[in-house]
Structures are given as structure tokens and as C-alpha cells.
Chain A
Amino acid sequence: MRRFQRGDARAFPELVRRHRAAVFAFVLRWTQDRARAEDILQETWLKVVRASSDWSPRARFTTWLYTIARNACVDGARRERARAAEPLVTEPVSTEAHDPERAAAASELRPVLEAAIAALPDAQREVFLLREMAGIPFHEIARMTGAPEPTVKSRMRYALEALRTRLTAAGIDAPAGGQVA
């Protein structure tokens, strides 16, 4: 990012290459709608370019980036609610895993997991996605969302509990390899 601020033309494609897919996955899980996620993804990166001079190395780039993405998601959701559009139809999700076993497991697990995430209250989903997908620590999520850190943690615990309940109810066992970080 620092290189981009200094005018290095090769720096921006590198940033995009590193983070775009992850941001898209984050936005898609948030919005549960591919078309909206694509719009928000584009909007997020345009804002990154426009606000690049505001970024300071004191802040982690990923935190800054996901703050922009998160705000775009919140604004997008607000606009959607105001517009009161027709019910959103989630496109079927493609399975891109190359490992057939993994692909099969993922194809079984994905709809349940997506539905479970979609069913979370907004505040819990936000915290879960920011921590789990963006890897942002709880204290930074608290700063981003304006909620106290203990609240953020309890939202996370509720989200984890709800997801766990849903997965168990769907008869899905956690894949092997689950361990404490």
C-alpha cells in the first residue's frame, strides 16, 4: 500500500491479487447475493483507490480494507432495505474444489453453512465474518463496529453456538482436523 501511495503502478495489481478474492468471499457471505456482492466488491476497491492517501501505515491494511468493505456492505444493506426490492434469489454456488472428496463434502456442507450464516442476526454475522474470514482481532472489530469488546466477543460466541446447533441439526459432523488455533 505504501508503494501504491508513492505512485508505484505495480503495487495496486499486487494488492488486488492478494486480497480481492478474500474480500469478495467476505462480501458474498455477508450479502448472500452474488450480483450485489460484485457491486460492493467493485465499490470497495474504488474507495480503496480514492482513499489511498488517507491510509496510514499505523493501521493494518487488511483492517482498513475490511472496514471499507464492511461499511459498503452496511450501506448496501441499508439501500436495499430502503428500496424494499423483491426477494433476493441466491444463485446456486459452484463447486470449485479440485479434490473430489473435498468437493463432495463441500457440496453437502456449503448450503447448510450458507443458510446457517444467513440466519444469524446481522450483528453476529458481522463479527463472525470479520473474525473468521478477515482474521481481524476482536479488539479491532470492536473499534470498527463501535461496540464494546466484551459485546463483540459475546456476539461471536452466540454466532458460533448458533452455527454449531444448525450443523448438528443438519446431521453434519465437523470435518476431521478441527482443532484449537
Chain B
Amino acid sequence: MRPPAPMHPDDDRLLELAYGEASTSEARALRQHVDGCARCRHVLEDIAEVRSAFRSVPAEPAPERGLESLLAYGEQAAARARSRRGGLRVLALLSAATAFSVVWLVLPAPQRPSDGLAHAPATPPTDALAQAEVRAAPAQGDRARDEVDDRAKDSKEKEALPEAKSERSRKEQTVTERRLPAELPKQKALSKVDAPAEPPKLSRAPSDGEAAGRAAAATDLSGALGSATASGGKVGGAGAGTAGPPSVAMKKRSAGTRADEGSTGAAARPASPPASVVAQAPPAPAGALDARTAEAAKIAAAPMAEAVASEDKTASASGVAASAPARNAAKPAPTMQAMRMGAGSPEKQARLGEIRKELETATGDRRKALLLEKCEIEASLQLGPDAVLTCSTVTREFPGTPEAKRAGELARGFSVQPPAQDDR
């Protein structure tokens, strides 16, 4: 009688063992088997030989070309990220302050502290977000502590915000119901309709009747602002929709828009919120935020979400990447910038299309001229990455020519400018 054939492990298991992907217990069992099995040992040795041969050939060094422009582009992106973070903090602070002021004005006089608004700034803010923002900024240069601080702050804000809003809302609800029990439904209905269009008048003291209406409106407003603050990237949508008081917030926003459109340089622009963030529906209001707040915020966010979603479509239509990560990577900043351009850009875009088509077959001087023209158009349209790529193609393919020199200058034009607001 012949001895039973030895049970060899699956070749996939041996592969996992060779690449260190087998679990500890499995690896131990496999090794025990391999020690006594010539066939499996041979399989492992073959794998090891190929790996060893592959590793003995040193890798090619990466080229220096394009490195400088790449680093400049990265620095520019970092500056934009800093600027965006700074902008969001300021906006959060303003939103919290506005919400606080509205609530303060709406509160009936007997419930206020004796000196009223004159002493208001000295009062610690009741809003948790405002408290968090008012705290002293961490020292520059200590990034680790800054990160830990920020994370703690974020989570604290997230935890505290619904409670603060809930408390505030309960208070307002009690006051409103005590004063005008009969008129409440009517006032609520009115405030739902009027709140976005008619800002509460902050300049004079409210009468009793107005107070109730404002209380409801304030609940809407502070809720919307609160949720916008908590959600960070969604500030644009919700803030735009409340359209209310908040001249400060509105001024801030319009100033940001102007800076975005103006010629202050790419670094000074507040970056647009990512499409994935803005396109999401506003978060479901927590705690005391009622359905009206959610509805108002949704309505307010819709145009922004649509605009950004359409940019995404445009970007993906023009992109070349096929799979998901590459599609994400090819996303929209350039298209966004192109959309901001004034008159003349459609012609330039059309010309770009023609050039791209012609470049597929053009060679020699014609190719050189087309590439330079493409580079110039992309630079004029502020299509930073595309311009850098095209310009570096000119310098690489036609080194030492005047066109290469010009392309180099254009690529360098996308240098970094100091951000408008630094991260504090």
C-alpha cells in the first residue's frame, strides 16, 4: 500500500507567505509544512529569486523637470486651504455673534440683565460655538498642539451646539407662548413665509406683538446659522438662504465673492466648497430646530448645490480619467474658474477645443505654436494645473526656443501669493 500523497497548501497561500500577507498562525503552519516539503520550498525559492532580481536593479531617479511648478502649485493649494479654514472660522464667529444678538434683542426687556446691550460684549457668550471661537488662538508653530486643540474644539462644538440651540429655543418658545398663546400659530406661519425675505429690524426695540413674530423668526435664523456653522462647508448654502439680518455676514460673503472674482490672485481667493459637501442636503436640524428651519435651509442651499453639481458635470465631461479616483482627481477647480470668467471666454474655450483637436496630429513648428497658444489661453483663463502642464510640455519638447522661454514665464506666473487671511 502506497503512502497518502502529501497535502500541499494552495499556491495562493504560499504567495501570501512570500509577501508577508499570511496571518501569524497561518504563516507558522505554512513554514512547518515548507520545511519538510521540497516542492513547496521550491515554489517559495522561485518567488524569492524573482523578487531579489527585481530589487537588485536600482530605480530610475525621478526627473527634475516640472518639479518646481508642481511644488508651486502645491503651495498655492495649501494657501487656499489655509485661507478657507480662516474664512470658515471668521464666518462661524460672525454667525454665532449674529444669532446671539438676535436672541438678545428678541428677549423681553425684564428678562435682560439691567444694563442691556451696553454691557453685552462683556457677557460671556451663551453660544458654545462663540465661546470656543473667543478662546485665545494657539501659538503659531506648534502644529501638533494646534491639531489636538482643533479636534477637541470641533467635537466640543458638535456636542455643545445642539444643547445650546435647544436651550435657546426652549427659552424662546416659553416666552412666546406665555405672551401670545392665541396668536402663536399665525405668527409662526407668517414667520415661515416672511423670514427669508424680510429681515428682522434690529435698530429698534420690538413691541410685544412683534416680539412673538421675531422670536419665531429668530428660531429659524439662529437655527439655520447654527447648522451652517456646525457643518462647515455648508455655510455658503445656508447663509445665503437666510438672507437676513446679518448685514455683517452678508457683507462678508459678498466681499469674499468680490475677492474671488477680482484680480487679487489665486491665493487670496476663498476656495469654493467641495461639490460633494455643498451638494449634500443640509443636515437634519438637531434638538429644537424644527421642520421650518430644515426647509428654509434646504431651499437656501439648493441653488448653490445645483450650481456646483453642474460644474461637476462639466468637469467630468471634459475629463479623461475613467475610474472613480481619477475622476475625483480631475474635478472641477479649473472649470469653476473658467465659469467665473467674463466675456470672451466662450471664444477662448472654443479655440482651446480646436487646438486640442489639431494637436492630435500636429508636429514640429505647428505643434510648438499650438502648444504655446494653448498654454497662453489656459493661463489667461486661470486654468492653473492645465496651464502648468501645457507650458511644461512646451519647455520639455522645445527646449531653448523663445516659445519655451515664454511658456516657462507663464508657468512661473502661477506663483504663490500670501493668503488674505492666515490660519490663527
A interface residues, Cβ below 8 angstroms from B: 3-9, 11-13, 16, 20-25, 28, 34-35, 38-39, 41-43, 45-54, 64, 67-68, 71-72, 74-75, 78-79, 83, 93-97, 102, 105-106, 109-110, 113, 131-132, 137-138, 150, 153-154, 156-157, 160-161, 163-164, 167, 172-175, 177-181
Contacts and interface: CB of A to CB of B under 8 A. Distances in A.
A28 B61 CA distance: 10
> Is chain A's binding surface mostly helix, strand, loop or mixed?
helix
Given A24-B63, A113-B54, A132-B54, A178 B322 contact: no
Interface in B38-56: 44-54, 56
A175 B321 contact: no
Interface residues of B, number: 68
Interface in B141-170: 143, 147
Nearest to B53: A174
B183 interface: no
A160 B52 contact: no
B61 A71 contact: no
A134 to B, nearest CB: 12
A51 B328 contact: yes
Contact of A102 (B56, B74, B80, B385): B56
B contacts with A: majority SS: helix
Interface of B: 11-12, 15-21, 44-54, 56-63, 65-67, 70-71, 73-75, 77-85, 143, 147, 274, 276, 320-323, 325-326, 328-331, 333, 360, 385, 388-389, 392-393, 396, 423
A137 B276 CA distance: 29
Contacts of B323: 71, 74
The list of the 9 closest CB pairs from A to B, nearest first, reads: A178-B52, A7-B82, A47-B329, A174-B49, A12-B74, A71-B326, A25-B59, A7-B81, A51-B329
A139 to B, nearest CB: 8
Given A9-B75, A72-B326, A160 B63 contact: no
B266 to A, nearest CB: 13
